[in-house]
Structure 1
Amino acid sequence: MKNSPETLFFDDFTAAHLNRDVWNVEVTGKIYNNEQQAYIDSPETVYISHSEADCNGALVLQAHYRPGFSTPQGAPFDFVSGRVHTRGKFTFRYGRVSARLKTPAVSGVWPAFWVLGNGGEWPACGEIDIMEAVGEPDWVSAAAHGPNYSGEAGLVNKKYFQPPDSIAEWHIYTAECTPEKLLFFVDDELIYRITRPMVTFFGPWVFNSEKFLILNLALGGTYPYKTNGIHQPYYGLPSPAVQEIQNNHVRFLVDWVKITTL
């Protein structure tokens, strides 16, 4: 008889504040993917809400318009946002990784739920993208990146929602990480399977190391740009999105995150 799965990690964000024993809040240093936001550690951009519908508490990553903002390194940005991760506080090797998420259906807004290998330079450390969206209401993507299959050459697939369903509703996004394959699910529907032979056709399998969790809300950048083709007013971020951010409407909600053994 198969044993019941063991819970390795769980946070339902019902406490008054983010649990900093397991979560770090990112502060922007180097910028990647031509993203248009700086990440800051602020209750404006990373906070717990107990007033969201259909959940008892939620982590909120919220974007704000802050023209003229400067990072500690002196880099200028017009937007700030939130990113949290468990690096140095919690890692796992294999298991079923899930989160219940609600993402903004705003073109050019790029929320993500993903994991990175704990050690080495990217992409040799291995990246598993459990959920990414760029604001188009009818799809999310899942992907894996490693040596010779990274960036635009990454292994990727999309899940398309049927109206009236959309990314703006609550959904459970999951990846099962095993020594030989990665399985991706949306609301328990299998949407993508990546096997070791699929990966080793391009490069080494790099997904057997310890991994840490990341949740972030990026704005603009390469992935949105290659979808919407927007140059102005910001790279990958059109004017309607800027207005939504200015109106404080762009939020990425996380009801819970859970990791169990398989």
Structure 2
Amino acid sequence: MPLKSGLIAATLGGALAMGTITSSLSAQDEAAGTAQSQRTLLMSDEFNGEVLDRELWTVVGPEIWFNNEQQVYIDDPAVLSIVTGIAGADDGALMLRPLFQPGIDPNTERKADFVSARIHSKGKFDFTHGRAEARIKLPDAEGVWPAWWLLGNGQWPTTGEIDIMEYVGEKDWIGVAMHGTNYSGETPFVNKSYFPEGTDATDWHTYAVEWTDDVITFEVDGKLIYRATRSMVAHYGKWRFDTPQHLILNFAVGGIYPFKTNGLTEPYVGVPAETVDKIKTGEIAMLVDWVRVYAPEGTAEAEK
């Protein structure tokens, strides 16, 4: 039975690269969002309230910093808020937005002239096997690094990481990835998927992962874009996807992934001056219409 925004029903305890996202759906991506109507909904946040549901989400602060990113995370409505009146969104949407605020970072051992937002559900909601999907609209800005992903609750990479969508501002493609022990870097489990002509990452799309005990499948708008199996992972290391993972949405700026794509070091690592100017005006944001998690297919509805 579908749940209201932010409520949790229960916590349940060869790699194929498709290369191209073969189609996009209507503005509401109805087929992707409603095709799961016969499955047990474990969690839903439709972002229709006035503020973020903190019974479900934790907002990250400056202590979280990785990958030579050029931002510091803060808990502030200037970078994280529920917004309304967004074209194509169903009622409200979550906005994660970077801003240019040099000097705000309390850590003097790094230089982070931007602030932004990151939220996670660790300790509040996690799941093992099932389907996680989010409807997202991304900005046209080279060198940004927003992402929608799952992370194991234990030490990384021993408990696994599933990157459902990563974006570095080249709007004709998004990245997906899986990380575990001995395959936490550049492996076949890091993959690009290109949009067809006529659509790109700046349109609304539903990004999803279908996670079973031996296959992980990535989809955009209900279309398969990449798949990896337990037997393929065995060539690199142990399958690390049999324990609970929690949800993460974040908006990074620059860092190693954008740098690997564009090679820029000035004015910031991975970030061109044009994007810095856009961030200064406040026009760059990742919008999230909703996030939903379903139990595996064929699973009876868990007791509340």
Structure 2 length-normalised TM: 0.83
Is 1:113 aligned with 2:142?
no
- Residue pair 1:144, 1:154 contacting (<8 A) in 2 also: no
Alignment of 1:231-250 (within 5 A): 231-250=265-284
CA distance in 1, matches of 2:220, 2:52: 26
Matched AA of 2:280: Q
| Aligned residue number for residue 99 of structure 1 | 134
Alignment of 1:51-62 (within 5 A): 51-55=85-89, 56-62=91-97
CA distance in 1, matches of 2:120, 2:164: 14
| Greater percentage in strand | 1
- Residue pair 2:172, 2:200 contacting (<8 A) in 1 also: yes
Shift of 1:163: 2.8
CA distance in 1, matches of 2:168, 2:152: 24
Matched AA of 2:99: H
- Listed one character per residue, the Cα deviations across residues 91-134 of structure 1 (whole Å, up to 9, x for unaligned) are 11111110000011210001100000111x21112000000010
Shift of 1:74: 6.8
Matched AA of 2:45: D
| Aligned residue number for residue 163 of structure 2 | 129
Is 1:191 aligned with 2:225?
yes
Counterpart of 1:152 in 2: which secondary structure?
coil
- Residue pair 2:62, 2:105 contacting (<8 A) in 1 also: no
Counterpart of 1:198 in 2: which secondary structure?
helix
| Aligned residue number for residue 65 of structure 2 | 31
Matched AA of 1:51: G
| Aligned residue number for residue 200 of structure 2 | 166
Shift of 1:199: 0.7
Structure 1 stretches of 4+ with a deviation exceeding 6 A read: none
Shift of 1:75: 4.6
- Unaligned stretches of 5+ in structure 1? none
Match of 1:228 among 252, 262, 268: 262
Is 1:175 aligned with 2:209?
yes
How many correspondences in the alignment?
259
Shift of 1:181: 0.8
| Aligned residue number for residue 81 of structure 1 | 116
Counterpart of 2:127 in 1: which secondary structure?
coil
Alignment of 1:3-18 (within 5 A): 4-18=38-52
- Unaligned stretches of 5+ in structure 2? 1-36, 298-304
- Residue pair 1:103, 1:167 contacting (<8 A) in 2 also: yes
RMSD: 1.4
Matched AA of 2:242: N
